[in-house]
Amino acid sequence: MKAHTRETQATMTPEKALQFLKEGNQRFQNNLKANRNLLEQVNDTSDGQFPFATILSCIDSRVSAELVFDQGLGDIFSIRIAGNFVNEDILGSMEFASKLAGTKLIVVLGHTSCGAIKGACDHARMGNLTALINKLEPAVAEVKEPKDESLRNSKNLEFVDSVSAKNVLLTIENIRERSRILADMEKNKEILIVGAMYDISTGEVDFY
């Protein structure tokens, strides 16, 4: 499989980009990697890159976007931060990726048993991590069940995963609210902004 070129990127639609990722995740689940020569792709992309998607995911070592979507060099922009939330710098990176570099799709990818989300559920406080956890706690407040406080912590993995899913949705809302560029591009059908959850037990990505 060749690296993407200006020509192949130009033929890509947001819907086609999404389908590419879905097909890649199917290959990953079935342990059937696409046939690609990575060293050849190094050479192919040495003069420029033409990725088709931008993926915001967690730093979790089990959730590498390139691997779980079976993508090669030059295929995707990968943004990683614990808890997959957005700030000004990440929004700027997304705007560059979409408006200037031509990607057609933004995916906010959460995952099950997320350590950062567990920290938010437990309202953890530790050094610089405190500020990060504060950005994830609105998702905890948005999940109303269970009401029993003794069950609203990291030991309740069902609650943790519900918060992770809510965090993805809140992140998408933040992208649309805080980036006029990306909101307008989505409105004009130049890009799609979608959410997804990766199951660390199965390797499956469930798109919203």
Q: Which residues are annotated as a binding site for Zn(2+)?
A: 58, 60, 111, 114
Query: Which residues fall in the annotated binding site?
Result: 58, 60, 111, 114
Report d(CA 37, CA 20) in Å as an integer.
18
Which residues is 80 bridged to in the sheet?
57
Give DSSP secondary structure letters for the chain: -PPP-HHHHHT--HHHHHHHHHHHHHHHHTT------HHHHHHHTTT----SEEEEE---TT--HHHHTT--TTSEEEEE-TT----HHHHHHHHIIIIIS---EEEEEEETT-HHHHHHHTT---TTHHHHHHHHHHHHHH------GGGSSTT-HHHHHHHHHHHHHHHHHHHHHH-HHHHHHHHTTS-EEEEEEE-TTT--EEE-
| Token pair listed for 192 | 């799609």
